Amino acid sequence: MRHILCHFALPVIAVTAPASAQDVVFVSGTGTAADMRTDDSFDEPHVDADRDDAARPRDEGIDAVADRMSDPVMQDSIAHTVERMADAVLALPVGGIAEAIETARPGTVRRKVRRDTTVGDLAGRDSDYIAEDLGDKSREMVGMMGGLARAAATMAPAIAHMGRELEESYRVAKRDARRR
């Protein structure tokens, strides 16, 4: 049951995220996130992955996201939202759905389900702790995502450099193959 709620809760959070999150676009080749609401959002300079790390400007966009995700207040806010959503899912009545399924395909519903039965009733005793567990896990997940964002910002120039080297190797191999 926890897996069902987890798989349900995360996509719902993504869809119901604040509008500001939907106004962000990752600009290819820059390693930054730009706000789509501004006209000059794509005028950021390209970061050259071949430059010395000490000379490379710090990526404030991803660092800011990582900082927000590492903020306990932000983590608590997300956890609270997840908990409320889980509580709402657990309170959903499913008796009518079970009845309709049994009417459509007799023998499908193996036990008698009252009309006022909720998802929480079907989950059993563990349903008392599901919302709190999901909230706790969301705090951990957001913190880990902050670390991942920081690591991605650090690795992005090296990965871009590797990509360019791979592309060049492919061009050389393709050119050599045509010569044969």
**Average pLDDT value over all residues in the chain:** 76
pLDDT classification of 16: cutoffs 50, 70, 90: very low
Domain presence at residue 37: yes
Residue 84 confidence (pLDDT): 95
pLDDT classification of 162: cutoffs 50, 70, 90: very high
Q: Which of 93, 151, 156 is nearest to 120 (CA)?
A: 93
Lowest-confidence range among 4-13, 82-91, 108-117, 142-151?
Answer: 4-13
pLDDT tens track for 106-121? 888 888 888 899 999 9
Residue 113 confidence (pLDDT): 84
Residue 56 confidence (pLDDT): 47
pLDDT classification of 45: cutoffs 50, 70, 90: very low
pLDDT tens track for 66-102? 888 888 999 999 999 999 999 999 999 998 888 898 8
The total of structural domains in the chain comes to 1
Residue 62 confidence (pLDDT): 79
- Domain housing 71: 2-155
Average pLDDT over residues 123-142: 91
Contact by Cβ (8 Å): 40, 108: no
Concatenated DSSP letters for 32-78?
EEEETTSTTTT-PPPP-TTS-GGGSPP-HHHHHHHHHHH-HHHHHHH
Q: Mapping DSSP to helix (H, G, I), strand (E, B) and coil, where does residue 27 land?
A: strand
| Cβ neighbours of 75 (radius 10 Å) | 20
Domain presence at residue 131: yes
Is the per-residue pLDDT at 11 higher than 50? Answer: no
Domain presence at residue 176: no
Is the per-residue pLDDT at 7 higher than 60? Answer: no
Domain presence at residue 168: no
